[in-house]
Amino acid sequence: MIFVTGGAGFIGSNFVLDWLAQADEPVLNFDKLTYAGNLNNLATLKQDVRHRFVRGDICDGEQVLALLLEHRPRAIVHFAAESHVDRSIHGPGEFINTNINGTFSLLEATRAYWSALPDSEKSAFRFLHVSTDEVYGTLGPDDAPFSETTAYAPNSPYSASKAASDHLVRSYHHTYGLPTLTTNCSNNYGPFHFPEKLIPLMIVNAQAGKPLPVYGDGQQVRDWLYVSDHCAAIRRVLEAGRVGEVYNVGGWNEMANLDVVHTLCDMLDRMRPKADGGSYRAQISYVKDRPGHDRRYAIDARKLESELGWKPAETFESGIAKTVQWYLDHPAWLADVQSGDYANWVASNYFNREGA
Ligand code: NAD
Ligand code: TYD
């Protein structure tokens, strides 16, 4: 079996669902269920004995070690993290705690478990760490995309905490021989994406008749990766990646934020026309920029393609059409994630930001 951390979040839950759709190998899903964790994402697995969920914190090394000893996984896939840049600006403490201390505790528990395995299981074991392209910092318009050898230059508390976790993982391979793999991926989008991030936030606000808040001039560029392509990349790296290596995962889909928002508006105009016949574009509102906002991310994913034969199956056009359709088809999921503390977050992040 495999042990997945953060498997109730956006990418983790897509990964667990895809994993069990492709193979019969059971999953132990270990997640703290923060605001970003949502068991509704896994509702279709309710009766599935291959999926076991345990609520817990990766900072609790004792609980993690006890589970590892009980279930004896052959691999750990580590998604659990605080993941939203704006939240890291409002309150970096939880990012240091989970992303750095939590990864450290998880590595220590893993080392204790792995060291005592028989030799054959020890060499077959894998610790796959899921990270981000944001550790490489920001690119100018003509810079080459990030490769696996680009120097780290994180600019937000989020990316700095992920960079620290990447370094810890690297050190556990070099120092203790732990068979690690690290993936650094670009911006994901798709089903179950929490509506604090750009794409789902715009879909939600558009339908609610609310402003579509574009930070600064909207010309910041991200490289969009459909989540199931990312999940396939992780499966492939886990299967055949060279131990100790880093693999960048990207969608070859660089787009400026404003173009993404225009695409979403135009798509919604066709799929869910407004009663007054107007366009959702009229709801776009330029707001004060994010402090330290990285201008451009782009991933060179050629290593993953040439070594392991992975490339994305979706274009932005196909992936975004599936994504918008998914949100239109799942109003109950959306209503549920917008209850609780969601309104407080929206109020604090967008308060006093209008009219930039
Ligand atoms: P998410 O915020 O949607 O989910 C994070 C999950 O981790 C949640 O289920 C949460 O409950 C859980 N979690 C948080 N703290 C925990 C703790 N201390 N112990 C156990 N569980 C905890 O994040 P996501 O978008 O699914 O991202 C998953 C991973 O991928 C993260 O490591 C993130 O840095 C990385 N990543 C994400 C993106 C993206 O576009 N979303 C891009 C690059 C890298
Ligand atoms: P986000 O989805 O938060 O991902 P990240 O910051 O990790 O790239 O944001 C994607 C881009 O969209 C980023 O450049 C910030 C911008 N953005 C807005 O313009 N408005 C918003 O309301 C949000 C949440 C993001």
Task: Name all domains of the chain by residue range, CATH numbers in brackets.
Answer: 2-192+226-254+293-313 (3.40.50.720)
Mind listing the pLDDT tens digit for each residue in 271-308? 999 999 999 999 999 999 999 999 999 999 999 999 99
For the CA of 158, the nearest atom of ligand 1 = 34
User: Hey, which of 214, 215, 264 would you mutate to test ligand 2's pocket, going by the most ligand atoms within 8 Å of its Cβ?
Assistant: 215
Catalytic residue among 31, 57, 82, 133: 133
Mind listing the pLDDT tens digit for each residue in 92-124? 999 999 999 999 999 999 999 999 999 999 999
Tokens 């992040």 found at? 349
Residue 56's SS3 state is: coil
Burial of 189 per CB tally in 10 Å (0-12, 13-18, 19+): buried
Cα of 86 from ligand 2 centre, angstroms: 8
State the chain's maximal CA–CA distance in angstroms. Answer: 68
**Where is pLDDT greater, at 228 or 352?**
228
Verify whether residue 158 is a known catalytic residue: yes
Tell me, what's the pLDDT at 37? Answer: 96
218: left (phi > 0), else alpha (psi -120 to 50), else beta? left
Mean pLDDT of the chain: 97
Name every protein residue with a CB atom under 6 angstroms from any ligand 2 atom: 85, 187, 197-198, 201, 213-215, 220, 222, 257, 290
Tell me, what's the pLDDT at 8? Answer: 98
Check pLDDT > 90 for residue 351. Answer: no
Q: Which residues contact 257 (CB under 8 A, 6 or more apart)?
A: 198, 214, 215, 218, 219, 220, 221, 222
Q: Two tokens at 55?
A: 């609520």
Mind listing the pLDDT tens digit for each residue in 3-43? 999 999 999 999 999 999 999 999 999 999 999 999 999 99
pLDDT band at 89 (very low <50, low <70, confident <90, very high): very high
Catalytic residue among 57, 82, 134, 294: 134
Verify whether residue 133 is a known catalytic residue: yes
**First-to-final CA distance of the chain:** 51
Q: Report the C-alpha gap between 78 and 30 in whole angstroms.
A: 10
For the CA of 261, the nearest atom of ligand 2 = 19
Residue 53's SS3 state is: strand
Mind listing the pLDDT tens digit for each residue in 217-249? 999 999 999 999 999 999 999 999 999 999 999
C-alpha dihedral sign at 325, 326, 331, 337 = negative
Question: Above pLDDT 90, what percent of the chain?
Answer: 97
Tell me, what's the pLDDT at 340? Answer: 87
Check pLDDT > 60 for residue 356. Answer: no
| Nearest CA owner, ligand 2 atom 25 | 198
Check pLDDT > 80 for residue 341. Answer: yes
Q: Two tokens at 19?
A: 């994993």
Tell me, what's the pLDDT at 352? Answer: 80
For the CA of 297, the nearest atom of ligand 2 = 8
User: Hey, which of 130, 204, 222, 254 would you mutate to test ligand 2's pocket, going by the most ligand atoms within 8 Å of its Cβ?
Assistant: 222
Cα of 75 from ligand 2 centre, angstroms: 32
Check pLDDT > 70 for residue 355. Answer: no
User: Hey, which of 5, 11, 86, 135 would you mutate to test ligand 1's pocket, going by the most ligand atoms within 8 Å of its Cβ?
Assistant: 11
Check pLDDT > 70 for residue 267. Answer: yes
**In one letter, which amino acid is 212?**
L
Cα of 11 from ligand 1 centre, angstroms: 7
Which ligand lies nearest to the CA atom of residue 189 in the structure? Answer: 1
